Structure 1
Amino acid sequence: MIQNYESFATWGAIIYFLILSVLLLIGNVIRRKIPLFKKSLLPTAVIAGLLGLVLKEVVFRPLSNGGTLPVDFVDKFNQFLNLVTYHTLALGFIAMGLKVNEKLEIKTNRSHAYYNGMVIVSTYLLQGVIGIGMTLLFAYTFMPAFKSGPGLATGILLPFGFGQGPGQANNFGIIYEAFDPNGFVGGQSYGLAMASMGFIWAAIGGVFYLNRVQKKRVTGEERAPQMTSIQEISAPDEIPVAESIDKLTVQIALIVTVYGLTLLTMFGLSRLVALNETTYRMLNSLIWGFNFIFGMVIALLAKKFFVYLRKVGWMTRQYPNNFMLNRIAGVVFDLMVVASITAINMEDLSQNNIWIAFLLISSVGGAITMFYLHHLTKRVYKQYPLEGFSAMYGTLTGTASTGIALLREVDPYYRTPAATDLVTGTTTAILFGLPILLLASYAPQGITQAIISLVILTILFAGFAGFLFKKHSLKKKA
């Protein structure tokens, strides 16, 4: 029994995990037993997250304010949820990066990775054009407060909030608030609110699209294989399922070790950029915000290292197992989805004094993103357009976790390269997306800089989109 606050703090993480586990179980029951939800294709983790959000705001917060729960219970719960969201994203991508090359029902060539990155970045650019363009329009109509440089620059928070989630939106919101002489008041809340709306567009918008397409396509559950073969669990050249150490333990140890190297790498880069104050202010938050990208890159390098060790005869058996790595990725992504949605702070919406502009920008941004990806993905991913759209749209409105969640509804066993496209695309997007990161720091410096940023974003989007549509004409073979 928890008798005091100190004991509660000690057992807090266990209690929070218990809450998430119960939410997932209840969400699964709702998803399978209630016809409305069963037909909607709404992911179980999303249902659990929405339940968690209601539980937090309707039950936990009043009990915390009334003294039944510790006063800072909700704040600490939110901190825990943010940590789960942050770390599980990286762990999931590491698990996918460690997978050995497997035979897919549909194959793509290596150059496809660059197209994946261009799909992601072109959507970022489009969202940036929408965001800054609409704030510029508002500034000279009914929102004169947006005439400040930082006010106009918050339009860039649309791609950060939708595509990168609460972390990046929060970081850049703080940066815009701190800009002198006229920082954008409420920039942090605006960024968090935009990220929250991104989750709504990812879940509701994505499910709406899947339901419309479902009339012509079978669901993921119908296409799933009836059973898993023993070869998927244990290939002849792999370590046994259980000997002196369990095979699953080895997979977890590999993932955690790679993540440890990832954190060390990020820490080293953070110390390096700290040598210059301006560089540190611009890049430090980006380094820690892209933990999943660093993790995935190091996982790919680790996989190459294992291949080298086997080639020279220093390692005789294969340690990574695709089946178990897929299952681990599924677990952490489910945790991420329920935690990220439960962590939404409703006060960021209710306390924002520019909520009209916020609703207009997020609504137009979400709708145009869906329209753009609908036409683009059926060209770039001709052999699996539904899976390609699900992964990309979920990622480019919510986070990679919602992209995976939507993908699993139509491709639960990752039979298509859509999940791999998401991983490789995120990597190549770093190179293509560098101008956006630079403009995000340049635009808040004044009205002129914000307008220049809008022009550059428009030109870049026209170039990227034009190349993709021309390269992947529907008349050409995939």
Structure 2
Amino acid sequence: MIQNYESSSTWTAILYLVTLSILMLVGNTIRRKIPIFRKSLLPTAVIAGLLGLVLKELLVKPLASRDIILSMANLELFNQFLNLVTYHTLAIGFIAMGLKINEKIEIKTNKAHSYYNGMVIVSTYLLQGIIGIGITLLLAYTVLPVFKTGPGLATGLLLPFGYGQGPGQANNFGLIYELFDPNGFQGAQSYGLAMASMGFIWASIGGVFYLNRFKKMKVTGEERVSTLTSLQEIETPDEIPVAESMDKMTVQIALILAVYGATLLMMFGLSKLVSLNDGIYKMVNPLIWGFNFIFGMVLAIVAKKLFVYLRKTGLMTRQYPNNFMLNRIAGVVFDVMVISSILAINVEDLSGNIWIAFLLISTVGGVLTMIYLHYLTKRIYKEYALEAFAGMYGMLTGTASSGIALLREVDPYYKTPAATDLVTGTTTAILFGLPILLIASYAPQGILQSLISFAVLSVLFIVFVMFMYKQHPKA
């Protein structure tokens, strides 16, 4: 029996978790003890992730070529583990937020607000698509003729997929662009992954730069966290006891995992449904599995409504979800998600002269996204512009986890609707973003199609911006 335990592959996952925990503790020490980090708003998870990435590239990889124990196969397994953790913790965190009982937030919004959230997200996708294809077109006819194909020009769309939707979508569409023309731009898949990786850096470093720029105008996250939490916030009188036959924290975890189980079952059913048509399957299936956190959030809200109904009918006499514990669970999984996503970056995704396009597009994309959201959030979210920018910019350059990481620095208790905006906005963005998905499949079919896609993106961007500015006049 002991030998079976010693040989179990489960220990590999345990060692990976131990590695993440040690990096997190070291990152926390760095932030607390080194003045430049202590004064900044750089999240501890980001510091830990960047530290781990440096160690992986400069220490572990060189040793892997000499030591069997640190083989490249083990590194590949480690990256797979990190991607798996990032994928699932995103959904778990959003389910935890969705199960929270409605709290009294300081700023109220109307029902149409969620649609404007979606328009902010999609208009940023459009801007990033314009930047990507525009610069790719310029480079194709100057220094990088490798882009002179339909799929080559279309790879500019990997900027919004990499920045706005994360590594999964960038990887999927990069592979699609490679398959459209085997003689065209090769390495699109790696290019998309690298773009997504750079998005994490822009989300953390660029986002922190912006937050520090406006730090004197707002209370910092560190000062807000130091505020004492009242007993009323930890537990309300009608909730289940902290310790009964089942611990209260166990109940919260069980609720979250039950909802996630239902989420995976629903996603599996939808995947089977769309598989009836090969064309629809290739287009929609990646979206189904890529948006697990949206499905999870929706089912969490449904579960919360069910609890309310059961209490009204008297079938359930106590409140089971606890906001304080759900916040703590969400905080833990988001921290783990941030460090895992950064540590999973593969620096070797770029090769040859493609780095010219990569650096130019990623830099211009990061800067213009920041400038655009700076002015847009001040217009749309007048009462909590900084919090809205933190969440939106983090999500639209990295992933939703990056947005939450930045948001927690300026709104750790989610007193503003900014956290909810990310979820409702992403949901409504599916409706507004359908043209982008169609364009993403149309653009790689040829050079003319890429040029038409560029024009359509530009027109849609102008229409979205004009509508939002008209509906939200400057104060």
TM over 0.5: yes
Structure 2: which amino acid aligns with 1:282? M
Q: Which residue of 1 is the match for residue 260 of structure 2? A: 259
Secondary structure (helix, strand or coil) at the match of 2:65 reads: helix
Q: Give distance in 2, aligned partners of 1:82 and 1:73.
A: 14
SS in 2 for 1:366: helix
Match of 1:62 in 2: 62
Distance 1:181 1:305 in 2: 51
> What pairs up with 1:336-347 in 2 under 5 angstroms?
336-347=337-348
Contact 2:146 2:184 in 1 (8 A): no
CA distance in 2, matches of 1:340, 1:355: 22
Residue 241 of structure 2: SS of its match in structure 1? coil
| Shift in alpha-carbon separation, 1:318–1:69, aligned structure 2, 3 A | same
TM-aligned CA deviation for residue 184 of structure 1: 2.7
Equivalent-residue separation in structure 2 for 1:385 and 1:117 (angstroms) = 16
Query: In the alignment, is the contact (CA less than 8 A) between 2:41 and 2:221 conserved in 1?
Result: no
Name the residue aligned to 1:239: 240
Residues of 1 paired with 2:62 and 2:299: CA distance?
Answer: 44
1:67-115 alpha-carbon deviations (Å, 9 max, x no partner): 2524211111100000000000111111111111101122222221111
Distance in 2 (CA, whole Å) between partners of 1:82 and 1:342 is 9
The code of the aligned residue for 1:29 comes to T
> Any gaps of 5 or more consecutive residues in structure 1?
none
Q: How does 1:31-430 map to 2 (within 5 A)?
A: 31-71=31-71, 72-180=73-181, 182-224=183-225, 226-349=227-350, 351-430=351-430
Question: Letter of the aligned partner of 1:447 in structure 2?
Answer: I
Give the Cα–Cα distance (whole angstroms) in 2 for the partners of residues 429 and 11 of structure 1: 41
Contact 2:203 2:397 in 1 (8 A): yes
Per the TM alignment, residue 7 of structure 1 is displaced from its structure 2 partner at its CA by 2.8
1:257-304 deviation digits (Å, cap 9, x = unpaired): 111111111111111111111221112111111111111111111112
Pairs aligned (count): 473
Residues 100 and 321 in structure 2, CA contact (< 8 A), matched pair in contact too? yes
Task: Provide the C-alpha distance between the structure 2 equivalents of 1:183 and 1:145, rounded to a whole number of angstroms.
Answer: 7
Counterparts of 1:271 and 1:422, CA distance in 2: 28
RMSD of equivalent CA atoms: 1.8
Letter paired with 2:41: L
1:216 shift after superposition: 2.7
Find the counterpart in structure 2 of residue 431 from structure 1: 431
1:424 Cα deviation from its structure 2 partner: 1.2
Match for residue 444 of structure 2?
444
More moved, 8-17 vs 321-330: 8-17
The aligned counterpart of 1:23 is 23
Deviations 1:228-257 (A, max 9, x none): 111112111211111111111111111111
Give the SS at the match of 1:93.
helix
Q: Provide TM-score, normalisation by structure 2.
A: 0.96
Superposition misfits of 4+ residues, deviation over 4 angstroms: 2-6
The answer as to whether partners of 1:63 and 1:69 remain within 8 angstroms in 2 is: no
Cα offset, 1:352, TM superposition: 4.9
- Equivalent position SS for 2:217: coil
In 2, the alpha carbon distance for the partners of 1:111 and 1:172 equals 32
Query: Deviation per CA, 1:371-413, whole angstroms, max 9, x where unpaired?
Result: 0000000111111111110000001001111111111111111
Segment of structure 1 superposing worse, 60-69 or 368-377: 60-69
Instruction: Note if contact 1:262-1:291 (Cα within 8 Å) is conserved in structure 2.
Output: yes
Cα distance in 2 between the residues matched to 1:425 and 1:79: 29
The amino acid that maps onto 1:20 is L
Q: Given the two structures, how large is their TM-score scaled by the length of structure 1?
A: 0.96
Give the partner amino acid of 2:367: A
In 1, the alpha carbon distance for the partners of 2:163 and 2:259 equals 28
Residue 11, structure 1, aligned to residue 11, structure 2: yes
Whether the 8 Å contact between 1:189 and 1:352 is mirrored in structure 2 is no
Q: How far, CA to CA, are the matches of 2:411 and 2:349 in structure 1?
A: 34
Once residues 395 and 311 of structure 2 are traced to their aligned partners in structure 1, the CA distance between those partners, rounded to angstroms, is 35
Provide Cα deviations, 1:324-356, integer angstroms capped at 9, x if missing partner. 11111110000000000000001013x254110
The 8 Å contact of residues 23 and 51 in structure 1, kept in 2 or not, is answered as: yes
Alpha-carbon distance, 1:60 to partner: 2.1
CA distance in 2 between partners of 1:440 and 1:291 (Å): 21
Q: Supply the distance in 2 between the matched residues of 1:241 and 1:363 (Cα, whole angstroms).
A: 50
